[in-house]
Structure 1
Amino acid sequence: MSLLRIAGRPLLASMFVAGGLQSLRRPEDLAPVAEPIVRPVTDRVPVLPDRTEQLVRLNGAVHVVGGLMLGLGRCPRLAALALAATLVPTTLAAHRYWDAEDPSERAQQRIHFLKNLSMMGGLLIAADDTGSAPSLLWRGRHAAQDLRHDAHPVRRSVRATARPAATAAGVRAKLSACAGR
């Protein structure tokens, strides 16, 4: 594993662990901000909890677990994907700069919104990172190429032996036909 991965994953994960712990400890602080996003989501997805505090806590748990997994390098691609998925509603709920009236507040929210977009970009890169090991798709393609490559000499060998065998069978058939008369 490269030094950049060893250092980069925990750095990327640290924000999620810290924010997730805050959401787990005090969901009531974030519930009013999350409410405009939670209601439409819970109406469409019935398996989610109804109370906003519970959803904030659930989101925080995903952030903590996903952040720890990413930081420790345990299933980092899956963890990065889960974090990226939970970052969308978090960003839309907490950093609605387009609704801010005060210009300085709008500027701050825009900075946080763009910061979250940047983090999402890093998470998507981490989700695609195979850690210098070939992906399953690459391995499958190359296994198929290897099979085609290995099959080529077999095909030539079969063709080379099939012609004389067919000729011998034809001669035998003619001899049998002649002997039977």
Structure 2
Amino acid sequence: MSTLREPKRVASAAEPVAIPLASRIPWLTEDPERLVRVNGAVQVGAGLMLATGRLPRLAALALAGSLVPTTLAGHAWWKEEDKERRAAQRTQFVKNLSLFGGLLIAAADTHGKPSVAYRGRTAAVAGRRSARHVRREAAGALSDAAGSVRSMSESAQQSVARRF
């Protein structure tokens, strides 16, 4: 919430991540303060959506996406010279990394409902089984029809032979 109200406070830390990111994505502005504010708004909005159960998979994905630049800009432990600050930043980095993993799990969670991919695979298996069953029935029906034709042919030959 504080980054929404006062983005200047963290804009300087966000600049090394925000500017290269904005230069790669044409519609993003190169203003670090605005990017910090947008990132904060995404985190607040997606957090509220996830907490209230509104589009939870999309909200978790948005949170995971917004966590990447936040973590890279705010917890660059590899740049710290002081051992204590380096350890603190590494701890925060690992914490955010674990949050990222949890958000990805939440984004993939279907709450016990089969996913579209699972339903597609199941339908394909059922379709193959059905096709095999139809093929077997058709082969049996064709075999029965061939037997009937042979039998009728033999009967017709015998009938013709008796008349002559």
Superposition TM-score tier, normalisation by shorter sequence: 0.7 to 0.9
* 1:143 aligned partner: 123
Residue type of the alignment partner of 2:138: V
Distance 1:46 1:163 in 2: 67
* Alignment map for 1:71-110 (pairs within 5 Å): 71-110=51-90
* Alignment map for 1:1-181 (pairs within 5 Å): 21-166=1-146, 168=149, 171=153
The count of residues paired between Structure 1 and Structure 2 equals: 155
Normalising by structure 1, report the TM-score.
0.76
SS of structure 1 residue aligned to 2:85: helix
Residue type of the alignment partner of 1:66: A
How far apart are 1:148 and its partner, in Å? 2.3
Q: Which has the higher contact order (CA 8 A, sep 6+)?
A: 1
How far apart are 1:152 and its partner, in Å? 3.1
Residue type of the alignment partner of 2:120: G
How far apart are 1:27 and its partner, in Å? 1.0
How far apart are 1:24 and its partner, in Å? 1.3
Unpaired runs of at least 5, structure 2: 158-164
Normalising by structure 2, report the TM-score.
0.83
Q: Over aligned residues, Cα RMSD in angstroms?
A: 2.3
Q: Indicate the structure (1 or 2) with the bigger Cα radius of gyration.
A: 2
Distance 2:58 2:84 in 1: 37
Distance 2:112 2:144 in 1: 50
Distance 2:94 2:68 in 1: 12
How far apart are 1:95 and its partner, in Å? 0.6
Deviation track 1:90-128 (CA, whole Å, cap 9, x = no partner) reads 101001112122222212111111111111111111112
Residue type of the alignment partner of 1:25: R
How far apart are 1:166 and its partner, in Å? 4.6
Unpaired runs of at least 5, structure 1: 1-20, 176-181
Distance 1:97 1:110 in 2: 5
Distance 1:155 1:50 in 2: 63
Q: Percent identity?
A: 51
